[in-house]
Amino acid sequence: ETGVTQTPRHLVMGMTNKKSLKCEQHLGHNAMYWYKQSAKKPLELMFVYNFKEQTENNSVPSRFSPECPNSSHLFLHLHTLQPEDSALYLCASSQNAQGRAEAFFGQGTRLTVV
């Protein structure tokens, strides 16, 4: 248990569906992140939120839409996904977005797009 909880753990969705991934942290952190981890590819940072403000969007397609209503919760809304979007989506949090801040990761959501 790292203090970062992701739900659901597994998700299968069709290309026309709309679904959301949820992340919650109980660590009092101010920065939260979404990463995508595909087979045989490095971890890809998708979004960064620092004090509820989105600070980075690394050219992520608009079919992925993040939401950070407060410092403890982070969502990733999904719509009209493609099969290549199938991956493990990891949420992480850290005290702040500075380089010495250790990141704590959730267990991930395994997403399969059919």
Partner 1 sequence: AQSVTQPDIHITVSEGASLELRCNYSYGATPYLFWYVQSPGQGLQLLLKYFSGDTLVQGIKGFEAEFKRSQSSFNLRKPSVHWSDAAEYFCAVGAAYGGSQGNLIFGKGTKLSVKP
Residue count, binding to partner 1 (CB under 8 A): 31
105: left (phi over 0), alpha (psi -120 to 50) or beta: beta
Residue 95 is given by DSSP the state: S
Stretch that binds partner 1, among 13-21, 61-69, 73-81, 106-114 (CB under 8 A): 106-114
Q: Please give the biggest Cα pair distance in the chain.
A: 41
Distance CA 50, CA 38 (A): 25
Q: Return the residue of 11, 21, 48, 68 that touches partner 1, per CB under 8 A.
A: 48
CA distance 93 to 79: 24
Q: How far is the CB of 106 from partner 1 (least distance, A)?
A: 5
Task: State the minimum distance, in angstroms, from the CB of residue 53 to partner 1.
Answer: 12
What binding mask, one character per residue, do residues 3-32 give for partner 1 by CB under 8 A, x or -?
Answer: -x-x------------------------x-
